[in-house]
Amino acid sequence: MKQYGILLIGCGHIGEAHIADIYYRENIRIIAVVDTDIERAKKFQRKYAAVYCSTDYHDYLFRDDVDIVICATYVDTHLTILKDCIKAKKHLLCEKPIAANPEDGDEFYNLVKHADIKVLPAHILRYNRSYQKIKQLINDGAIGQFQMARMIQNHHCKDWQRYYRLLQDCTPILDCGVHYFDVLQWITGQKITQVSGIGAIVGNGIGRCPYNYGIANLWLSDGSVGYYEAGWSETLASCNVKEFIGSEGRITLTLKSFRASNTEEGDLIELYCKNGNQYHTINVNAAYKPMWEQLSALIAMIEGRMADAPSFDELYSAFLVSIAADRAIRDNCIVAVGNGMK
């Protein structure tokens, strides 16, 4: 069994989510952890048995024992890290979104399409068992013809400084919405073709970002619709709703952290069928962020055991939707996805 050497760039919240789920795996060795805060990097080194730590990833990028780079940094660094990984011939697992603007996203896309390395944007919900089950139910016709989706993800930010920093480069619609635009296209097999939206400032002191709360209205290629609502604020109440509605019923997902009881049973999928007015419940033991499953997919791609799945084109499509949604909110207009993005 080949052992893969990992270089983690970014020792923050999402970096820890990555490393905590992989560092003890038999075929993984954490070569180095890197962060602009050396004390935080040292803490990660001790906690997750990394060989080295520093504030500069270039110290380790060209090492022979580094196979995969995990990029868990702010979005404004992603393109530069991709370019460096291509030079060093290191495979890349990159946090989403790939970019904060269409120009950088387009350059990122073209580099990946011609690169000799494997690049996987971290669309973690593709590996989440609850969403895999929902996709299966919809594909099996459990709710008839899919017609609409309601997706809400508002977050009460107790750690406001972390979210304030995110807002300087990326809105919630870009950062989180790209997940759910991808999920919606993936589970329905349809493309989001145009977007409208509204946004607002909720709370105070969000810096240069024009909004920290937004709603994106979505039109899909088969005539179905949906909306995605997201906000980061010290005053918003946390709310997480995912509902998929069809001609014969609906599917509602409640994450275990939002269940009123029986949280030990995992996520709750409720299936309502109008035929007979029947309700069915499905408990799913799903990790919210299955980082090991995601990294395993990248390793399988590297070893040629599976095609690139999801394909980069699919994930780039979701990025274009998020860019369109952000523009629609900023400019108060309807935006066709993929047209006039620059």
Tell me the pLDDT tens digit for each residue of 40-52: 999 999 999 999 9
Q: Do 229 and 236 touch, CB atoms closer than 8 A? A: no
Could you tell me if 184 and 249 lie in one domain? yes
- Whether residue 118 lies inside any domain: the answer is yes
Q: 119: closest CA among 85, 91, 154? A: 91
Q: What percent of the chain has pLDDT over 70?
A: 99
Label residue 339 by pLDDT band (50, 70, 90): low
Label residue 174 by pLDDT band (50, 70, 90): very high
Within 8 A by CB and 6+ apart from 208, the residues are 168
State yes or no: pLDDT of 340 exceeds 50: no
- Whether residue 238 lies inside any domain: the answer is yes
Within 8 A by CB and 6+ apart from 298, the residues are 68, 91, 93, 118, 120
- Whether residue 160 lies inside any domain: the answer is yes
Q: What is the pLDDT of residues 93-124, one digit of tens each?
A: 999 999 999 999 999 999 999 999 999 999 99
Q: What is the mean pLDDT of the chain?
A: 95
User: Rounded to two decimals, what is the model's pTM?
Assistant: 0.95
Could you tell me if 116 and 135 lie in one domain? no
Q: How many residues does the chain have?
A: 342
Label residue 300 by pLDDT band (50, 70, 90): very high
Phi, psi of 107 (to 5 degrees): -65, -40
Q: What is the CATH number of the domain that holds 332?
A: 3.30.360.10
Could you tell me if 161 and 273 lie in one domain? yes
Residue that terminates a domain, selected from 83, 98, 122: 122
Q: What is the pLDDT of residues 48-72, one digit of tens each?
A: 999 999 999 999 999 999 999 999 9
| Total domains, the chain | 2
Q: What percent of the chain has pLDDT over 90?
A: 90
Q: What's the rounded mean pLDDT across residues 260-279?
A: 92
Within 8 A by CB and 6+ apart from 313, the residues are none
